[in-house]
Structure 1
Amino acid sequence: MSKALVLLSEGCEETEAVTTIDLLTRAGIEVITASITQEREVLCSRGVTILAQKSFAQIIDHQFDVVILPGGVKGAENFRDSIQVIEKLKQTHDQGHLIAAICATPAMVLQYHNLFPHAIMTGYPTTKSSFKHWHDDRVYYDEVHRLITSQGPATSIDFALKIIAVLAGNSKAAEVASQLILPTGIASYSN
């Protein structure tokens, strides 16, 4: 069974976090949520509080098949400014595992720290000028760099389905999409 880590930070975008957590769980992927601080209660960008399962210290030495960063400007700033988060991303990537980031985090974390200098990414459209290699798709999977990026809250379902497709296959992503009653062709997991 694949194992996913969803990092949570004060000010992160709750739609992006919860949608991803929910869909990966539906796919049978073990999802661990962890606050990047010692406080497990995380106040998100729209005032919703999420209770993370773990603190960062509890998961720092664990390996995951994917590390996921939801967006939200304040949340992305907190991820960007955490040396431990950046080291976790580098470690995960160096082990050949997947990194997935949505909304503000591709620009404010991945590009800011130049973690994937040659990768093609997408992100929140107003951050386009921050990227060396931009793609206009709602979700983009750079297979060479094992990196999935996405544009924002409305792309959260496609983002989660792409993670499922990469970790568990297109048929599992299609199964989860059918549970959600998605119109045919809406999800980018099959591309």
Structure 2
Amino acid sequence: MTKQALVFLSNGCEETEAVTTIDLLTRAGIKVTYASITEDKKVECSRGVTILAQKTFSEVDNLDFDVIILPGGLIGAENFRDSQQLIKKLKQAHQAGVVIAAICATPAMVFQHHNLFPNAYMTGYPTTKDTIKNWKSDRAYFDAQYKLITSQGPGTSIDFALKIIDVLLDKKAAAEVAAQLVLPQGIKSYQ
């Protein structure tokens, strides 16, 4: 059965983190849906790139996914934090055993702010270190107990996507996607 991923987008989200994740998961054969957290499919990202979401929040709210992914970007993370419908969806998904993944400012701005994973280990944008209770310095980290994947920022977007592939599928699938890329030194190739 094909794994299903949901990438939420919000105005101000980090385009590199969103698009890299969407692309690499698609390469792995994961069915990716990207949806705006509002009812407007047009999302203006942090550097002015406009992404046209496939779906709106209401179109995905009652659907099931294997992973829910939140890119970062300061304004994007604030918009995620302030979306009560998104926070409700994350809580429900976590209770149902869905993997939750976030990168950059989002772990601190959303997970810590709403105390969603109070005892989970996570990473995030380095300047948020003091706001994350159980900080990990890894480029991408999976806390298996809480089914939580976090990563640090735009430069770790490939690490983040490969970690999601590893968790959803396996190391072999992550290695196959990594082999298609010319990875810079420091990124785990899963070989």
TM superposition score category, shorter chain reference: over 0.9
Unaligned runs of 5+ in 1: none
Unaligned runs of 5+ in 2: none
Q: Which runs of 4+ in 1 moved over 2 A?
A: 181-186
CA shift at 1:96, angstroms? 0.6
Report the 3-state secondary structure (helix = DSSP H, G, I; strand = E; otherwise coil) of the residue aligned with 1:4: strand
**Counterpart for residue 31 of structure 2:** 30
- Contact kept, 8 Å, 2:175 with 2:189, in 1: the verdict is no
Q: TM-score, normalised by structure 2?
A: 0.97
Identity %: 68
**Counterpart for residue 87 of structure 2:** 86
The CA distance in 1 between the partners of 2:146 and 2:190, in whole Å, is 17
- Contact kept, 8 Å, 1:158 with 1:189, in 2: the verdict is no
**Counterpart for residue 96 of structure 1:** 97
Report the 3-state secondary structure (helix = DSSP H, G, I; strand = E; otherwise coil) of the residue aligned with 1:31: strand
Q: TM-score, normalised by structure 1?
A: 0.97
CA shift at 1:4, angstroms? 0.3
- Across the aligned residues of Structure 1 and Structure 2, the Cα RMSD in angstroms comes to 1.3
- Contact kept, 8 Å, 1:162 with 1:188, in 2: the verdict is no
**Counterpart for residue 173 of structure 1:** 174
Segment of structure 1 superposing worse, 131-140 or 9-18: 131-140
The CA distance in 2 between the partners of 1:80 and 1:100, in whole Å, is 14
The CA distance in 2 between the partners of 1:102 and 1:96, in whole Å, is 19
Residue-by-residue CA offset, 1:91-150 (whole Å, 9 max, x unaligned): 111111100000000000000000000000100000011011001111111000000000
- Contact kept, 8 Å, 1:8 with 1:35, in 2: the verdict is yes
Residue-by-residue CA offset, 1:52-110 (whole Å, 9 max, x unaligned): 00000100000110000000000000000001110111111111110000000000000
